[in-house]
Amino acid sequence: MFRFLFLSFCFSSTYCAQAQQSSTTPKKDISTSINKGKVVYQTHCLSCHQIDGGGVPHLNPPLAESSWANGNVQRIIQIVLKGMSDRVPIDDEYYSNSMPAFAHLSNAQIADVLTYIRQSFGNQSSAVTATEVLAVRKKMQPKHK
């Protein structure tokens, strides 16, 4: 199901080639990324999203079995880079706390932590690559710079 949605997204995306590549990354590479991502998670994410990815009811959204964490890769890369303080429902629930930006993390660190999240807490979604993070980062930068 996720793969279907993922591929559907691909057809309309400029990141299609990279995304498809990521979904077929050899297992060994994924496990390296997951292990590195776990360290990033423990340092930067666990405090709010908790040890089980369960988040905090009504304050910090869960990552476990979240349609966002398991969904559009570009959206979650952007959230990590920019932070989030919009009052929008996530899986029909509102969350009060704001998330800071983590743009100071490297593309590889962001790719690793998102891969870890998408492969942990009951999640089974595709890996995220540093190339994908870079692409979103470039797109977010103001054009005059």
Partner 1 sequence: MQASKTIRLTAKYAGAALFGLFFLVNTKAANHLTTDTSKHHLPFVQQEIDNPLVLPKGFSYAIVAENVGRVRHIAVTPKGDLYAKLARPINGKGIFKLVDTNNDGKYDTSFGFGNYGGTGLAIKNGYLYASNDQEVFRYELDKQYDVVNLGKPERIVTGLINRRQHESKSIALDDKGHIYVNIGAYANACQEKDRSKGSPGKMPCPILDSAGGIWQFSVDLPNQSYKEGIRYATGLRNVVGLDWNQSSKSLFVMQHGRDQLYDNWPALFTQQQSAELPSECMYEVKKGDDAGWPYIFYDHIQKKKILAPEYGGDGVKEGGKDAINPTVAFPGHLAPNGLLFYTGNQFPAKYKNGAFIAFHGSWNRAPLPQKGYFVAFVPFKNGKPSGEWEIFADGFAGEPEIKSPRQAKHRPCGLAQGPDGSLYVSDDNKGFIYKITYKN
**Segment interacting with partner 1 (CB under 8 A) among 6-14, 57-65, 107-115, 131-139:** 57-65
Report the residue from 3, 58, 75, 139 that binds partner 1 according to the rule CB under 8 A.
Answer: 58
Report the C-alpha dihedral over residues 121, 122, 124, 126, rounded to 10 degrees. -10
Closest CA to 133 of 86, 88, 49, 73: 73
CB 99 within 8 A of CB 79: yes
62 counts as binding partner 1 under rule CB under 8 A = yes
Residues in contact with partner 1, total (CB under 8 A)? 24
What is the footprint of partner 1 within residues 17-46 (CB under 8 A)? 42, 46
Region 86-125 residues binding partner 1, contact defined as CB under 8 A? 87, 96-101
Cα separation, 121 vs 53, whole angstroms: 6
| Structural tokens at position 42 | 């423990």
Which residues lie near partner 1 (CB under 8 A)? 42, 46-48, 50-52, 54-60, 62, 83, 85, 87, 96-101
